[in-house]
Amino acid sequence: MTKLIFLLLLIPFVSYGGEVKVFFKIAVDERAYSTFLLENLGAGHSALHDLASRLKEKHLELDKVQKDFYNIKIDYGMKYNGHDVAQYDIVPILPDRFRHVLLVDEKWDQILRREVYDPDGKLIYAYSFEDRDGELKPAVEMPKPAVSAGRDEFPGFKPVFKKELKDGTIQTLYSDGLNKFSVFISKAEGEVKDSARILYGNYVYRKKVGETLYTVVGTIPFPQMEKVVARLAFKEEK
């Protein structure tokens, strides 16, 4: 449960207006999936409920997607649960980030279904709205700490969120407009084994460099996470 709560730091909270039913399928680890209807999660699953709520995003902002890094195929004129939708198949040009397949309501530009796949084609998480003919409402996004935009530290990814946690850990969230990853930098305490695993819809990579512990969480593959840590560790040494 501690690991699940840790993942809640990854994505700033985004809320949909109204009461809607959201069905989730999420990779719990490398072998197992969990499927659930979001509203049916009881108090004993509050952390999983919160994580799923953060993974679902309000709408597709295609203008923010770094198109130099993706091939985008759009099919219009489709129907989904009574809504007119377009299907977006957004495939990375290189295997350095994840593929997203989305059904988007043409009236509100809101995402009604999303599937996220890693470079090996494994489903990492998916969600869909189960209400039929339901009226969508504009979403409300909670404010988050701003980060000054500079040049891309990592190809296509810009820092969009940064904060210091209570224990002194520094978290920075990077986004290319579609995929995201957070880097947590903290002081290493004791022996820490390097690790790379899938955990509740995210890749999680942890590596100790000197006296610093780097943890990367998000939707980029492990080789890319290794490069992120190497780049940041090199900057720290300079």
Cβ contacts of 143 within 8 Å, gap of 6 or more: none
Q: What is the percent of the chain where pLDDT is above 70?
A: 75
pLDDT for position 151? 56
For residues 214, 153, 182, 25, the Cα torsion angle rounded to the nearest 10 degrees is -120
Architecture per CATH, 158-237: 2-Layer Sandwich (3.30)
Residue range 162-182: mean pLDDT, rounded: 93
Asked if pLDDT for residue 9 goes beyond 50, the answer is: no
Q: Are 6 and 202 in contact (CB under 8 A)?
A: no
Task: Report pLDDT digits (tens) over 31-73.
Answer: 999 888 876 555 555 566 667 666 777 788 899 999 999 999 9
Asked if pLDDT for residue 83 goes beyond 70, the answer is: yes
Task: Report pLDDT digits (tens) over 183-208.
Answer: 999 998 878 889 999 998 999 999 99
The predicted model scores a pTM of: 0.83
Domain ranges of the chain: 2-141, 158-237
